[in-house]
Each structure stands twice: as structure tokens, then as C-alpha cells.
Structure 1
Amino acid sequence: MITDAFRTAGTARTCDHRRSVRSPVGSAFARTACSSPRRRRLRSPICSDITSDSIVVQVSENTDPTPAFDAQDFRTVLGHFPTGVTIISGTDEGQPVGFTIGSFTSVSLDPPLVGFLPMKDSDTWAAIERGGSFCVNVLSRDQADLCWQFAKTGNEAERYDDVAWHAAPTGSPIIDRAVAWIDCNIEEVYEMGDHYFVLGRVVALEADADHDGSGPFPLLFFKGTLGGFAAEG
């Protein structure tokens, strides 16, 4: 997975104690679903449920709790699935924060929902969570340097050195020249293994491309390396 690959490339993040979820303060967009994101935990691995009457996760009773592979096997095989590269941005006490994420996905059209999976020990995620909103910046193939810059540990503000950006409706940074951006309020946060699954409700979005497919191509991550996309035909 892209986040694990960055960690093994010398970009492991410093662990911190988990912070409680807070409702957004001073956000330009009021939360429409609830006053703050709700934290939910997956419980039993067999026919377990999330703490909601409407959501049930079922796993086969034949599931072997001890896999016949190690973490490196898992990373290697999953690395054969190419992904796009995003920078998830936000603000913390008025300061821009952000990190590189490959595990981003569309979730629902109605209502418009997207999601991503940060590591539980990520200080950057804790900062974004406090702000209550985030913006997904889909990087173009000429922004590989930003991919690595935002994967580094260290001072959050330094990640934005020499990076041109402007504010999304929620106040989260939109990085200039990104292929697309999706601005969201945090809707729900689920605990899943060593990651969280963050569900966001989309409040605004835009793509730097025409409907015929012309425009900048995205940056791709495949088998531990970055590359571009070339259309056939």
C-alpha cells in the first residue's frame, strides 16, 4: 500500500496518543449531518457489527485468524494494484497541514461521500481531525516531488514551503495545478485494524480537465514507484 511504502522509504511518522474527536470550530461550512464525526469500532471478527443498527459487517466463520503470509508479502502483492496519489489537506488552528495518501476512494453518489485510510499513529491525521474537514488534492504526473514532500516527517508548515495553494470552501488548502480537488466535512471515523477509515461528505469539488478527457494526467503509484498515465488510441 502506498502509505506503507512511504513509511519503509524513511518517512515513518511519529506516534502520538489518540485525541478525542471535536466538532469543527470556525468552519465556513456547518455540519449538516451531525455536530461532530462519530468514532465507531469494528468488534468481533465473526459476524461483527458497528455501533449502528443500520450497518452490519459479516465475516465468514471459516476465517483463519493466522494468515499464511507475512506483512512483506501483503505489501508486495497489494503493490501490484496501481493507485492514484493524493494529498489530504486541512487546517489546524489556522495553519495548513497535509499528508500523502494513496488509499482514497469514492464511496457514495447520493449522498456524495468519499473516504481515505490514515494510519492510527499519524500526527497529521490527528491535526486534520481536529479541524473537522479536509480537501483531497489529486496530484498530476508532474507533481511527484510533492508526493514525497508531504510524506516526510517533521514540521507540518515546512511541507508547504514553496507550495502554491488557495483555500477551499471549508478553508482546507487546494494545491495549485492538482488534477482535481474534493472538499469535504468529516462525516464518520471508523477503526479498522492499524488504520482509520475516514468518511467525508463532499461540499465542493472541481477537476482541471474537460469532459472529453483532455487535460492534465494524474500521478500514479505502482509497485513502489511513481509514474504517469498514457491513454491508448
Structure 2
Amino acid sequence: MVELPRVPDDEPALRAAFSRFPSGVVAVAALVDGAPAGMSASSFTSVSLDPPLVSVNAHVKSVTWARLADRPRLGLSVLGEDQADICRRLATRGLGDRFAGVPWAATGSGAVFVEGATAWLECEITQRVPAGDHEIIVLGLHAVATVPDRPPLIFHASAFHRLA
């Protein structure tokens, strides 16, 4: 039998353990009062093919998520390997215009997409599940587009990486 250490009580140790799993990064964005609003999330995952569902997680105290949560459609952009600066910009708290200098486009339904991403998903919220200090947001897909030869941005051990 394997004995593992107990879950640490300190947040840095938990963050270090969680960061050992590499993931892609998405921009979650929509028009709010006619301007793009968005955030980055490394918690993106596919959920179901039938019906087509994905999910992201958002901190319950996120001011940006509070602005996006009531939008009819959200745009998810799977960021490309050269978009680390965009990811950092979308993750910066207290930044006035996170989309300043970021090329973007919007759909008629208000979903916002970052240009140059490797995939785009137009979604609507189907379920919000409380989960500790975050909530899991389940999203139904309405439209998707990909650029298969464009590698994604990888987040691992609190740093950005490229596929080898």
C-alpha cells in the first residue's frame, strides 16, 4: 500500500501540486456594454460530444467573471503558442482595458474571439456548479472553428511552454 502525505493546508503547496498538470489556455470573452471583456482560463476541458459541452472554472470573486456570467454567448479562444502575452494581459487584475492591443472579433450574438488562436468555440452557459472557491461553468457549443496546423499555448509549472 502506498502512503501519500496529507493534503497540505498551505495554498502555495497546493498550487505547486496542481501546476504539475500541463494544460492549454483559453480566453473567455464577450461584449459587455459594447466593449470586449474577458479573462484567461487554464481550466478548460471537453466534457461531452453528445450534446457538445465544454467547461471552464472561474473564481467566485472574479470581477470579470461576474461581468461575463449573464452574457447570452461567450467566445472561447484556444490560445496559440505565441500568445502568452495576450494570456497574461487577460489574467491581469485591475487592468483597465484588457483588450488594448489585442486583435479580436465579435459575433452578432456578442461572443468575442481573439484573432490568431488555434480554435474558437461559441458557447452558452448551460450549468454553473459551485465548487469551493470556484465554480465550474458548463458550456454548450453553438459553433466551432480550428486552425489544425497552429500549435496551442501550454501552461505547466506556472510557466508557458510550447509543444516539442
- The reply to whether TM is greater than 0.5 is yes
| 8 Å CA contact retained: 2:80, 2:152 | yes
CA change 1:81–1:68 in 2 (3 A) is: closer
Partner Cα distance (1:80, 1:190) in 2: 25
Structure number with higher strand proportion: 2
- The percentage of counterpart residues that share the same residue type is 33
Partner Cα distance (1:152, 1:119) in 2: 14
| 1:155 positional shift | 4.5
CA change 1:138–1:131 in 2 (3 A) is: same
| 1:96 positional shift | 1.0
Q: Give secondary structure in 2 for the equivalent of 1:177.
A: coil
| 8 Å CA contact retained: 2:22, 2:157 | yes
Partner Cα distance (1:74, 1:166) in 2: 37
When the two chains are superposed, the root-mean-square deviation of aligned CA atoms in Å is 1.4
Unaligned runs of 5+ in 1: 1-66, 210-214
Q: Give secondary structure in 2 for the equivalent of 1:218.
A: coil
TM-score (norm 2): 0.91
| 1:169 positional shift | 5.3
1:150-201 CA-partner distances (Å, limit 9, x unpaired): 1112255x11111111113532111110000111011111111000111111
Runs of 4+ in structure 1 off by over 6 angstroms are: none
| 1:1-233 equivalent positions in 2, closer than 5 A | 68-70=7-9, 71-155=11-95, 158-168=97-107, 170-209=109-148, 215-230=149-164
1:114-166 CA-partner distances (Å, limit 9, x unpaired): 1100000001111111213211111111111101111112255x111111111
| 8 Å CA contact retained: 1:89, 1:173 | yes
TM-score (norm 1): 0.65
